[in-house]
Structure 1
Amino acid sequence: MRRKQRREAAQATAQTTAPAAPVRPGGPPVRPTTETPGGPGGGGTALAERPAPAPADGTTDGTTGGTAAPTSDGGRLAGVRRWWPLLLLRAAHPRQALLTAAALGAGALLLGRATQEAAVVAATVLVGQVVAGWHHDLVDRDRDRRHHAGRKPLTVPDLDPGTVWFSIACGVLLVVPLAISTGVVAGLTYLAALLVTLLGNLVLRGGVLSWVPWAVSFGLYPAYLTYGGWGGDHLGSPPSVLVTVLAALLGVAVHLARSAPGLVVDHEEGWRTLPVRVALRIGASRVLLVGGLLALALAAALVVLGLGDGFTA
Structure 2
Amino acid sequence: MKGLFRASHPEPSLAVTTAVVLLAVHWGGSVGTALVVGAAALTGQLTVGWSNDLIDRDRDRASGREDKPLATGALEVVTVRRAIAVALVLTVVASLSLGLRAGALHLVLVAMAWAYNLGLKSTVLSWLPYAVCFGGLPAVVSLAVRDDPGPWWLVVSGVLLGTGAHLVNAVPDLEDDRRTGVHGLPHRLGARGSVDLATALLLAGTFV
Q: Within 1, Cα distance between the matches of 2:97 and 2:200?
A: 35
Query: 2:46 & 2:199 partners in 1: Cα distance?
Result: 22
Residues 269 and 237 of structure 1: CA distance in aligned 2, closer, same or farther (over 3 Å) = same
**Preserved CA contact (<8 Å) 1:131 1:172:** yes
| Residue matched to 1:264 | 175
When the two structures are superposed, what TM-score results if normalisation uses the length of structure 2? Answer: 0.88
Check the 8 A contact 1:214/1:248 in 2, yes or no.
yes
Query: Rg bigger for which structure?
Result: 1
Aligned to 1:247: 158
Q: 1:201 aligned to 2:117?
A: yes
Does 2:43 correspond to 1:127?
A: yes
Equivalent-residue separation in structure 2 for 1:252 and 1:149 (angstroms): 25
Post-superposition Cα deviations, 1:78-120, rounded to whole Å, max 9, x if no partner, equal xxxxxxx101110000001011111111221222222332222
Unaligned runs of 5+ in 2: none
| Counterpart among 146, 160, 172 of residue 62 in structure 2 | 146
Q: Is the counterpart of residue 275 in structure 1 residue 186 in structure 2?
A: yes
The change in CA–CA distance for 1:173 and 1:107 in structure 2 (over 3 A counts) is: same
User: Equivalents in 1 of 2:204, 2:24: separation in Å?
Assistant: 20
Q: Tell me the alpha carbon deviations over residues 211-250 of structure 1, each in whole angstroms, 9 at most, x when there is no partner.
A: 0111122222122112114xxxx6x123343322221122
Aligned residue for 2:92? Answer: 176
- 8 Å CA contact 2:24, 2:34 repeated in 1: yes
User: In the superposition, relative to structure 1, how do residues 270 and 169 fare at CA in structure 2: closer, same or farther (>3 Å)?
Assistant: closer
Aligned-residue offset at 1:274: 2.0
Q: Could you tell me how far 1:280 is from its partner in structure 2?
A: 4.3
CA distances 1:175-212 after superposition (whole Å, capped 9, x unpaired): 11211222121111111110111111112211211101
Cα displacement string for residues 108-135 of structure 1 (whole angstroms, at most 9, x for unaligned residues):
1222222332222122211111110000
Q: Which has the higher helix share?
A: 2
In the alignment, residue 252 of structure 1 is paired with which amino acid?
Answer: T
Q: Which runs of 4 or more aligned residues in structure 1 lie more than 4 Å from their structure 2 counterparts after TM superposition?
A: 289-297
Structure 2 counterpart of 1:187, which letter? G
1:254–1:292 contact (8 Å) kept in structure 2 = no
Letter in 1 for 2:59: R
In the alignment of these two chains, the number of paired residues is: 208
Question: Could you tell me how far apart the structure 1 residues matched to 2:41 and 2:199 are?
Answer: 21
Which whole-Å CA distance do the structure 2 matches of 1:96 and 1:265 have between them?
A: 21
Q: Distance in 2 between matches of 1:137 and 1:293?
A: 30
Aligned-residue CA RMSD (Å): 2.4
Query: Which of 48, 71, 74 is matched with 1:155 structurally?
Result: 71
Query: For 1:205-244, what aligned pairs fall within 5 Å after superposition?
Result: 205-229=121-145, 236-244=147-155
